[in-house]
Structure 1
Amino acid sequence: MTVSCSQNGSKLRNTLPLAVLLALTLGSQFAAAEVQLWETNEVIPTYVVGPPDPNPRFYSGRTYQGARATFYPYPVLDKLTDERQNKSYRLVYLENEYVQLAVMPELGGRISIAKDKSNDYDFFYRQHVIKPALIGMLGAWISGGVEWNVPHHHRATSFMPVDYTLETRPDGSKTVWIGETEWRHRLKWIVGVTLYPGRSYIEMSARIFNRTPYAHPILFWINPGVHANEQYQVLFPPDVEFAVQHGKPEFAHWPVGAETYAGVDYRGVDLSWWKNHPSPVSFFAWDSQMDFFGGYDHGRQAGVLHYADHHQVPGKKFFEWGNGPEGEMWTKVLTDNDGPYLELMAGAWSDNQPDYSWLQPGEVKTWRHYWYPIRQLGGACNATIDAAVNLTVSNQTARIAFNATSQFRNARATLHTGKTGLFERVITISPREPFVAEVKLPEGIRETDLRVSLLNSDGRELVSYQPLARKNSPMPKPVVRPRPPNEIQSNEELYLTGLRIEQLYSPSFESAPYYEEALRRDAGDIRANTALGILRAKEWRWADAEKHLRAAIDRASANYIRPKDSEADYYLGVVLRAQGRFDEASDAFHRAAWGQAWQSAANLALAQIECRRRNFNLSMELVNRAIAAGSLNTKARNLKSAVLRRLGRAEEAEEHAVGTIALDPLDFGALNELALAQRQRGAQSAAQTLAHLQQLMRNAPQSYLELAADYEQAGLWEEASEVLLRMVGGESVLSDAHPLIYYHLGYCAEMAGQSQSLKYYKLAARMPPDFCFPFREEEERILQTAIERNPEDARAWYYMGNLLFDRQPQRAIEAWENSRKLADGFALVHRNLGLAYAQTHKDFPQAIERLQRAVGLNPKEPRFFYELDLQLEAAGALVTRRLSILTNNHNVVKLRDDALSRELMLLVAAGRHDLALDIMLSHHFHNWEGSSEIHALYADALLARGHAKFKRRQFNDAFKDYVMALEYPSNLEVGRPKRDRKATQVFYYLGLTQEALNDPASARESFERSATPRERSPSEAQFYQAMALKKLGKTSDAQAIFEGLVRHGESLLKAGDQPDYFAKFGERQSERVRQANAHYLAALGKLGMGRTAEAEADLGKAIGLHPGHLGALGLLNRPPL
């Protein structure tokens, strides 16, 4: 038995090279051929994505990848098309003698090409077409290459341009830096993709900067895809005994399963092989203490390994779509000809998704990953930055194999048992020259006695491995759903539960009720008051935040004691500063700075305040303290450069800016300060630096606004204005621009005592409002000031509502109402009010009125029809009313799949099955990952039509419809799942039809297919399985299911909304729909038990609440069961 642990380019981008900025020089000893770096345009076939959705999408309870699906302030990219065009993209290439890479800044900065030149193997998935699917956080997403997931999984901008620059270093290595400041939290991240001369590995240097005054939970997963096939194997380290699901609700033994996992029976199955997974599935390695993992194609004898310090980068995961029909469908959706893929993900500061770590104010996390191709290894037992090793034992023969990431002459490959040498050979090994040997083992040697190693010519160990005895550890306990606050015994548990909900961005629970319950029991609880104060500060509810933070401070400082932890003092300073109470804020920040943990953040805040007061010498002293406590705090470093310049110390300012650029080559503040310092001392290089900065900023409004905001926070109004004026061509041009550019310019002018502030505010009011989605805390104050100076500005009120809704919905409603009073003809204001009245107040009549007004003002916007129908459904409107709105506007509705799906659902509910099916089968749907509703609708239409034929005794025709309901038409883009729950219903009705056709043998076969595999959760599918079990004579089993359905339905009616804590995807349902579903489940159970009158009463209640409930309508119109 075999034992194995493995289971030509255009002009280079004008960069102002860092070598110049850092006063570095390149020697002639580094030949250009060693690492080539160039940019070029390449044409790639591309499936066109429609324009971004112009409607702001606020948070409405949607779950995405197990966390909150927060679109705002980004526009959504969910309009996919079938139009295939040849499109030119900018690619940045890196190449040395071993590997070739290409990076695509236009598409999220992903690595699109990674080729092993020794065997022409694409060790990351090579896409030859850009074919988006609705998988990303905002929609459009492509597979292939390497994606950067930060601070959330499948980050918002994966399909958008990012910032980039190039670097050449004295050692001959070359780097493409990519990154951005994301909008949702205003965190900055960068990744440097580096190739070295003579090395086959890709170095990925990652950094994430918290430039905000708040702590934020973050994750950072690097997500490479690899080509997968029947011979592809995932290589988790040999110390991995378990793998775990998203959110950690269930574990599986690794590598051979011993349980059901993700709904699949994996008992006795080797989980490491791609071919063994029939459905989409994820496995996260559990608690590995080793620094590598990867994947291997045994057919190509090639693969890829990842190496990183597991203390910083614990996450090791693979995901695949599976090799069943569902996976085949996703392969077709995502590529034309490149085949299936598998994702090998490496997580920093995170070992799961969702799993987040806190990033404190001013904190910077830095780490490195290494990826390199492997060949002829057969697997991997261990890997380092220098080399990888595999050891297998079969028939008393050991096979040892090594790969190296650079050339090592006179290296020694050894195999020992204890102090006894079994094999040693002096070799030359390189990425092109792997080493493999077979060694006959003496009798009695155990595998765990062996130790294999590779040493360089100086005796330094490059890699080694000694097989591990399996620990057979007990299965880890799964994560459990949080209990309601009133069921938790201690305040400590309440605090920790609330904190966990915050930390994981839970879409199912709110943290505030846990903190509030703790305060109900003990109003002075320090932890709960501090946590709730910070939470309210992030919502900009300053008075409430101040109350809780002061309560925490009062308890902590009772009896005149200095608190051990000054977190509450720090955040009190943040809250007071936000209210313009700078003297009080300074006192709080000074108290906070007594604690080491808050010295950097607090002293930066103090330096900003003194800068506003023009106390530059004091500001310098404070910012120096901030940097001493946090040397990587680039925001503090940039402020120091600005203060040095303001003090007339231009050369020092320039030197300091260069040092900051070394930390972040894409730091716009540092580059701007470099240009200003150079200009101040009259250097000609200032123009070059400024041109370089403007090129990096890509004319992106939010980049200019974020840089200006940095200056505004320190009261440097002139610098902020200069940055903003570059965006509009200067004071003499003032071209059309994003409205916030002019609002900020107006505010800066006002704060600087300049007369042109009103001119800017009026210009802002005249700018097109498209995609103006404010998100910065300081923009509330700016917009409020603009409104005070220009009271007729309806747009400012609209923008204010957008800014506030996800934090303070009632104030947002008031702002939008003010906008409506000033200008009633703006459709988006009415649309936003409609959604807000529904979501915030459950005032569906008002919501419907506003949305109908929006439709009237802009009848060409299909999204409005979708949103209107959702509110009509939530209000219990009749099917006829809803359907008439959609069918009368069909040519607009059909432009969006979500709107068209609503029309189709209503057509089915109204009994117009033929029309619904004609539309469904002639339209190409693009579905979000995790969504299969359109196929369920297709099946419901055929079932309903079949029922009608059955009741007319047209059994053969009914049979044909039921058989069609089992199909998965390709245009629906839903693949047949391994556990086809809808099929349980269809097979039951097929069985009834076969009974009517006097074919009992076929009927029994259909009932057996309906009854297996067993459904474990109360559902419609479980009801039909129970009905099939009755037909098969298993009445007691069926009775237990029926009773469970009744219990579950009635418990849902009593308990209220019970969201799935572990759900990866989903939308929040309205209360009427939720209650209708509960009545429906109860009706199913009662119907199965023969309590027909009670069942029909529940069905009537379900339809009364939700007249379009297809399940209830279908059951009322069913054939005799």
Structure 2
Amino acid sequence: MPAPPLSPVSEHTPPARRWKRPAGRPAGKSSRPRRIRIPISASTPAFAMLLMCRLVTTLSLGPLALAAAISAAEPVRLTEREETIPTYLSGPPDPNPMFYFGRQSQGAEGRIYPYPLYDNLTNRRGEKTYRLIYLENEFVRIGVLPEIGGRLFSAVDKTNGYDFVYRQHVIKPALIGLIGAWISGGIEWNIPHHHRASTFLPVEWRAEAGADGSRTIWVGELEVRHRTRWAVGYTLRPGSSVLTCQVRIVNRTPVAQTMLCFANVAVNASEHYQIIFPPRTQWVTHHSKREFSAWPISTSRYGSADFTAGVDVSWYKNHLQANSMFAWNYEDDFFAGYDHGRRAGTISVADHRIVPGKKFWTWGSGPRGRMWDEILTDTDGPYIELMVGAYSDNQPDYSWLGPFETRAFEIHWYPLRDLGGVKEANVEAAVNLEVKDGAALFGFNTTAAHPQATARLALRRSGPGGAAERMLSEERIAIDPGRPYFKKIALPAGTDPHELRASLAVADRELIASAPVRLLPVPRPPTYAPPLAPREIANLEELVLAGQRADQFHSPSLDADPFWEEALRRDSGNIEANTGLGRLHLRRARFAEAEKCFRAALARVTANHTIPKNAEPLYYLGLTLKAQEKIDEALEALHRATWSQEWKSPAYFALAEVATARGDFQRALDFVDRSLEGNARNVRAYHLKAALLRRLGRLAAEATAVVAAAAQKIDPLSVAVAGGDATSLLELAVAHAGAGLWREAAEVLAPLARASGGRSASPIVHYLLGDWAERLGEATKAAEHRRAAVTASPDYVFPFQWENIPVLRRAMEVSPQDARAPYYLGNLLFDWQPEEAIRLWEKSVALDPSFPIAWRNLAQAYAHQPGDAARVKAIACLEQAIALPDPHPTHFAELDQLYEAGATPVEQRLALLERHQSTVIQKDEGRVSLAGLKTLVGKPDEAIALLANRTFNVWEGGTRYSAGDTWTNAHLVRGRQRLRAQQTAAALADLSAAVKPPPNLRADERSSGPSRAAELAYWTGRAHEALGDSARARESWTLATAAPSRSARESPGAALAGQAARYFEALARQKLGQADAAHAIFRELVSAGTA
């Protein structure tokens, strides 16, 4: 994981690799921050602990030597290759921290911090060398790309050459990911959010060999927003065409988190491609379950599409617009797609009780879909996404992950061929059975070779004497992934297709069978209903649950706080509302407020009860007190929480940390063991146990076994800690410090404190080491680290661990003139405690007014406070930032937004941007703003030139600015100028260009919008009138009167645009001689304006 964007442990550094660059190989051209690999000295006390992790890797590879003897098939081959792939290069991420102000991404909060924003896409094609890891057996070959999110990059059916996942031949990022850059193709792992933050960043990886000849490539990371880990193991086995993905999701924190998990599988799309939901599927639903459509024949409006005429929506070609469809199916384990032109497809299989989600997404086969095809690839064409969701059936759809909980499950994929579709599938075989024109067509694919299988088609009929079976076809066959079986036979007259059954058997067991499903009508499921305003919800329980859903689903439009606060206004002792609000405060490091909530919940839950049934408030109260260093009180709460089976394990772990910090290692070991009795998958408990065993003098045997168990059974990538991934080391060190193991914590971080490759160490590392040295009585070393922290580069230092709060506060006390500690602490706290962050940044700029990002952060904070005075302060801060040397393009874009909101004269805004034009236009938003201002002051030629010579990057879902709108405005203004100058032909050319934005803008004709159609048609009519062409003039004016329909629920902006359209409609009606109708519209507009 690259340290600068993900943690404060190093600066702008290259991605970690598990290989050496061959002699003479040129450095890669990527400017993404990269990970530092840290050598661990054998002389350090931490070496033994890290060596244990290395032993796990060694042991896991040992069985490979036995593979040939154990497996009849040839072992799976693993190869690592450097491949040069054409790549559209990315510039460095934005150095400004991006805080949360309500942005949404895929229906959930679009939080970016503590990651940076990766929106600097150059659109310049170059060559870049990547390390790909391949697994291959006799049937399939897969390639994994750890450098770009650990995605499966390729998967080929060797029997026919079919790419059963979409294979990109170019790396072409677009602004689709949670933090920006994202590529299409392969399999993307979205954990714990959709299009997760690090999907375009390097992840950890390692290889593993199985005794059966299988090989596994593990990829994964620490996700720093929630401090959870995930790992995916891509496994191939000898003699099988199945790709098995073993998934682990690990909550390393003591607080419940929520997670979404979808595997995003891209496949090549064409007019012959069909999406196959299981036959029992009768309904599909949209994001958030906000609407439903019948499947496969839709007869309704759905999303932006009109299927009311009756459309088979299982075919890609029938989706002209972008659309998502989630199967409403909780019975079946498979999901597939099939290209009837290639006679090949892709199938996924997973236990539907754990992996219920089945979704497909398409950009659509219409013009906008083609635009996105061009944005995302050069020659590989359109794709669709066949997504599979675990513990999630929709997006957003989040499930709870308890403290220290680990989830483990598997998803399987394999290629499908020569079947025409599929009706049932499992990990061993797939079957298709169709009846057409009086004949049965049936066939089988298998995922392994079966030289003596039996394919059957039976007719089963019920009669007075019971069910009778008649064998229509029975054939002994040899079948394997490269030799499917398919047959067509005539059926007896009057055969009911529902009486047929196709099956494939080997020896004494059946591999697969299918009979046509007799569907009974299922009513349309209920849609999700957004909650009323808190005060309008009458039922207290529903009020509490509304808050819970907002919290659980990371809602961008609803905060949980108002619902729970309203519940407490009605009932101040409500257990669930107090506990939920307390958890929010705890996650925001508002410990005093959290304590108050948990104590209120505890008072209710223990009223007349010595032993509460619900011990959640006790457990979280204990954590909150521990965080405030009220240790004795914390112990009382935590011990009582262990009386509850549900909270026993995390409570004992917290007790173990306290006992360790007090030096009672034997008692701490007992607590760890008790914690593991309740949760044997708590990886942090294993790490703490290893440290305790070492302190108790039992290093070699017991401690090694403990870490090996944790690494292999829980988090297969925990061994990556030994490799020096900076973020993982930081998290491990802070975990040790949380148990008072200051020496061990310092030894884990010590390698990161040394400069590497000309780069200074992270200031956060120095602050932590200084704090821990002080606790260990090493005053000189503490002072050295704090001095180093002050002088270290602040670039990309975005702290994410609440444990940094007391460390940075102590640094501020010890070094009152340190301007960086309050800056970093403000970064950490802003999304949790904005008022305190403002105070800290104000202190930082007072101590050092030469740091522009601190001024910019203050401006962002002030700008989101109410009132004109706050905006004035925000403007002053950004003006201070851009007055410093080397101003950043982001600062100009944000300042111009504030100027616009404050009605600053256009001429003043333009003068500033023109003075710094070379900097401003480096960012798309700044270039569009500059072009818009030039248009407003009558310089459309310059505006059009700014837009014409750059390829713009558009965000999926739209952006705050629109290059297409600006293009329309500039041509409209220039067209009117030319019309006044009697350059009528040129004016018509501008008006025509206004509705046809060029491809470099990445906009379509919708950018001008229906609200602009009346305006453009009116002026086009004026141009034809000037040419003396009255017929075409009237034609244009008639077009202007075709006002678009208006929604009663349209936004204020849409309503205003609609009024503008009505104004030009009225002008057109005047030209058409419809004076009364025109005056009626004018009166309507005057009435609306004065209402």
TM-score of the aligned structures, taking structure 1 as reference length: 0.87
CA separation of 1:264 and 1:1014: change in aligned 2, threshold 3 A = farther
Q: Say whether the 8 Å CA contact 1:984–1:1010 is kept in structure 2.
A: no
- Tell me if 1:845 matches 2:872: yes
**CA distance in structure 2 between the aligned counterparts of 1:12 and 1:449, rounded to whole angstroms:** 63
Q: 1:417 Cα deviation (Å)?
A: 2.5
Residue aligning to 2:487:
437
Q: 1:908 Cα deviation (Å)?
A: 2.6
Superposition pairs of residues 75-114 of structure 1, within 5 angstroms = 75-114=116-155
SS of structure 2 residue aligned to 1:594: coil
**CA distance in structure 2 between the aligned counterparts of 1:557 and 1:174, rounded to whole angstroms:** 53
- Tell me if 1:879 matches 2:911: no
- Tell me if 1:749 matches 2:773: yes
Q: Which one of 992, 997, 1000 corresponds to residue 963 of structure 1?
A: 992
Q: 1:83 Cα deviation (Å)?
A: 2.2
**CA distance in structure 2 between the aligned counterparts of 1:701 and 1:155, rounded to whole angstroms:** 20
Residue aligning to 2:746:
721
**CA distance in structure 1 between the aligned counterparts of 2:414 and 2:789, rounded to whole angstroms:** 51
Structure with the larger RCO, 1 or 2 (CA within 8 Å, 6+ apart): 2
CA separation of 1:186 and 1:959: change in aligned 2, threshold 3 A = same
- Tell me if 1:941 matches 2:979: no
Residue aligning to 2:422:
380
Deviates further, 642-651 or 975-984: 975-984
Q: Which one of 402, 408, 413 corresponds to residue 450 of structure 2?
A: 408
CA separation of 1:518 and 1:724: change in aligned 2, threshold 3 A = same
Superposition pairs of residues 288-687 of structure 1, within 5 angstroms = 288-418=330-460, 419-458=469-508, 460-650=509-699, 651-664=701-714, 666-668=716-718, 671=719
**CA distance in structure 1 between the aligned counterparts of 2:183 and 2:1000, rounded to whole angstroms:** 19
The letter for the 2-side match of 1:340 is P
Q: 1:1089 Cα deviation (Å)?
A: 5.3
**CA distance in structure 2 between the aligned counterparts of 1:907 and 1:321, rounded to whole angstroms:** 34
Q: Say whether the 8 Å CA contact 1:289–1:310 is kept in structure 2.
A: yes
SS of structure 2 residue aligned to 1:72: coil
**CA distance in structure 2 between the aligned counterparts of 1:767 and 1:966, rounded to whole angstroms:** 52
Superposition pairs of residues 890-969 of structure 1, within 5 angstroms = 890-931=917-958, 933-947=962-976, 957-969=986-998
SS of structure 2 residue aligned to 1:840: coil
**CA distance in structure 2 between the aligned counterparts of 1:81 and 1:522, rounded to whole angstroms:** 56
**CA distance in structure 2 between the aligned counterparts of 1:1089 and 1:479, rounded to whole angstroms:** 41
1:226-251 superposed Cα distances (whole Å, 9 cap, x missing partner) = 11111111111111111111122111
**CA distance in structure 2 between the aligned counterparts of 1:895 and 1:1025, rounded to whole angstroms:** 34
Deviates further, 954-963 or 902-911: 954-963
**CA distance in structure 2 between the aligned counterparts of 1:961 and 1:1012, rounded to whole angstroms:** 22
Superposition pairs of residues 802-817 of structure 1, within 5 angstroms = 802-817=827-842
Q: Say whether the 8 Å CA contact 1:990–1:1003 is kept in structure 2.
A: no
CA separation of 1:1096 and 1:657: change in aligned 2, threshold 3 A = closer
Q: Say whether the 8 Å CA contact 2:798–2:824 is kept in structure 1.
A: yes
SS of structure 2 residue aligned to 1:811: helix
Q: Say whether the 8 Å CA contact 2:87–2:170 is kept in structure 1.
A: yes
1:1040-1068 superposed Cα distances (whole Å, 9 cap, x missing partner) = xx9xxxxxxxxxxxxxxxxxxxxxxxxxx
Q: 1:957 Cα deviation (Å)?
A: 4.7
- The CA RMSD over aligned residues, in Å, is 2.8
Deviates further, 806-815 or 555-564: 555-564
CA separation of 1:575 and 1:826: change in aligned 2, threshold 3 A = same
Number of residue-to-residue matches in the alignment:
1016
SS of structure 2 residue aligned to 1:580: coil
**CA distance in structure 2 between the aligned counterparts of 1:859 and 1:919, rounded to whole angstroms:** 22
Q: 1:170 Cα deviation (Å)?
A: 0.3
**CA distance in structure 2 between the aligned counterparts of 1:311 and 1:39, rounded to whole angstroms:** 36
Q: Which one of 807, 812, 816 corresponds to residue 787 of structure 1?
A: 812
Q: Say whether the 8 Å CA contact 2:206–2:717 is kept in structure 1.
A: no
**CA distance in structure 2 between the aligned counterparts of 1:1029 and 1:455, rounded to whole angstroms:** 72
The letter for the 1-side match of 2:833 is Q
CA separation of 1:1011 and 1:421: change in aligned 2, threshold 3 A = farther
Q: Say whether the 8 Å CA contact 1:1010–1:1025 is kept in structure 2.
A: no
State the identity as a percent. Answer: 42
CA separation of 1:1023 and 1:416: change in aligned 2, threshold 3 A = farther
- Tell me if 1:799 matches 2:799: no
1:846-880 superposed Cα distances (whole Å, 9 cap, x missing partner) = 10001100111144311110111112222232222
**CA distance in structure 1 between the aligned counterparts of 2:91 and 2:949, rounded to whole angstroms:** 20
CA separation of 1:889 and 1:1001: change in aligned 2, threshold 3 A = closer
**CA distance in structure 2 between the aligned counterparts of 1:804 and 1:82, rounded to whole angstroms:** 35
1:446-474 superposed Cα distances (whole Å, 9 cap, x missing partner) = 2222222212222x221222212233322
- Tell me if 1:20 matches 2:62: no
Superposition pairs of residues 105-144 of structure 1, within 5 angstroms = 105-144=146-185
The letter for the 2-side match of 1:736 is S
Residue aligning to 2:761:
737
CA separation of 1:1025 and 1:609: change in aligned 2, threshold 3 A = same
Residue aligning to 1:864:
891
1:914-969 superposed Cα distances (whole Å, 9 cap, x missing partner) = 22122111222111112262112211222344455567787655443322111031
**CA distance in structure 2 between the aligned counterparts of 1:785 and 1:983, rounded to whole angstroms:** 59
Unaligned runs of at least 5 residues, structure 1: 1-8, 672-691, 1043-1084, 1099-1121
**CA distance in structure 2 between the aligned counterparts of 1:430 and 1:1025, rounded to whole angstroms:** 64
**CA distance in structure 1 between the aligned counterparts of 2:372 and 2:759, rounded to whole angstroms:** 45
1:471-525 superposed Cα distances (whole Å, 9 cap, x missing partner) = 3322222222221111110111111111111111111121101111111111111
Unaligned runs of at least 5 residues, structure 2: 1-17, 23-52, 461-468
The letter for the 1-side match of 2:326 is F
SS of structure 2 residue aligned to 1:796: helix
CA separation of 1:249 and 1:103: change in aligned 2, threshold 3 A = same
CA separation of 1:716 and 1:1086: change in aligned 2, threshold 3 A = farther
Q: Say whether the 8 Å CA contact 1:58–1:805 is kept in structure 2.
A: yes
Q: Which one of 203, 208, 219 corresponds to residue 249 of structure 2?
A: 208
**CA distance in structure 2 between the aligned counterparts of 1:934 and 1:295, rounded to whole angstroms:** 36
Residue aligning to 2:855:
830
CA separation of 1:632 and 1:882: change in aligned 2, threshold 3 A = same
1:65-120 superposed Cα distances (whole Å, 9 cap, x missing partner) = 11111110011111111322211111111000000111011111111110000001
**CA distance in structure 2 between the aligned counterparts of 1:1027 and 1:733, rounded to whole angstroms:** 64
Q: 1:24 Cα deviation (Å)?
A: 5.2
Q: Say whether the 8 Å CA contact 2:964–2:1008 is kept in structure 1.
A: no
The letter for the 2-side match of 1:281 is N
SS of structure 1 residue aligned to 2:865: helix
CA separation of 1:448 and 1:711: change in aligned 2, threshold 3 A = same
**CA distance in structure 2 between the aligned counterparts of 1:433 and 1:302, rounded to whole angstroms:** 13
Q: 1:152 Cα deviation (Å)?
A: 0.5
SS of structure 2 residue aligned to 1:337: coil
TM-score of the aligned structures, taking structure 2 as reference length: 0.89
CA separation of 1:596 and 1:981: change in aligned 2, threshold 3 A = farther
SS of structure 2 residue aligned to 1:931: coil
